[in-house]
A = this chain, B = another copy of it.
Amino acid sequence: MNKGLLIVFSGPSGCGKGTILKQFLARNEDVRVSVSATTRAPREGEQEGVSYFFKTKEEFEELVRSGGMLEHATYVGNSYGTPRASVEAWREEGYHVVLEIEVQGALQVKRNCPDALLVFVLPPSFEELERRLTGRGTEEPQVVARRLAMAKEELESAGQYDYILVNDVVEEAVADLETIVNAEQMKTPHMQDFLKGLCEV
């Protein structure tokens, strides 16, 4: 059993990363989505360890202090983060673990876990992103404009990612993500058990 990969997934709003992930998960039983920890109170129907790991402020801070968080941030007074232990436990069982987070969190993960794969999802063109954001029809023009401005800013960070996934046709983007996962597993560090087995003969 080889250790699973840690895949960090980012991209501007409207790039389609949610749809890609959904199909990727449906097609690959060996992939799991990381569960975040949070200090905010559980809402109705939310389950511990499924929706979130619910923590007190003290528990959360202790986890950060002891290096137990791969990344963390505070949002409207509540803290959110990715606990290292649950991610590592799944990876040791052979599951690939996916984190869908924004750029600052992704770069924190890379610092705390250098073998994480950072994948940045992009639209085929800026016009297409604009069309997708407008086409939803649910957003005010000024919301669309703000999202586009944010997208341009996030693009500046794409160069710090390992892979760029262009989402033109969703099925192809999912296949491309599978290509990345399959290639990564042929990298020498992931083949150590096989190499050791061969050499021991």
Contacts and interface: CB of A to CB of B under 8 A. Distances in A.
A163 B179 contact: no
A155 interface: yes
Given A179-B183, A180-B186, A183-B182, A194 B164 contact: yes
B201 A187 contact: no
A165 interface: yes
A162 B187 contact: yes
Query: Main secondary structure on chain A at its contact with chain B?
Result: helix
Nearest to A148: B201
A140 interface: no
Nearest to A165: B186
Nearest to A201: B126
Interface of A: 120, 122, 125-127, 152, 155-156, 158-166, 176, 179-180, 182-184, 186-188, 191-192, 194-195, 198-199, 201
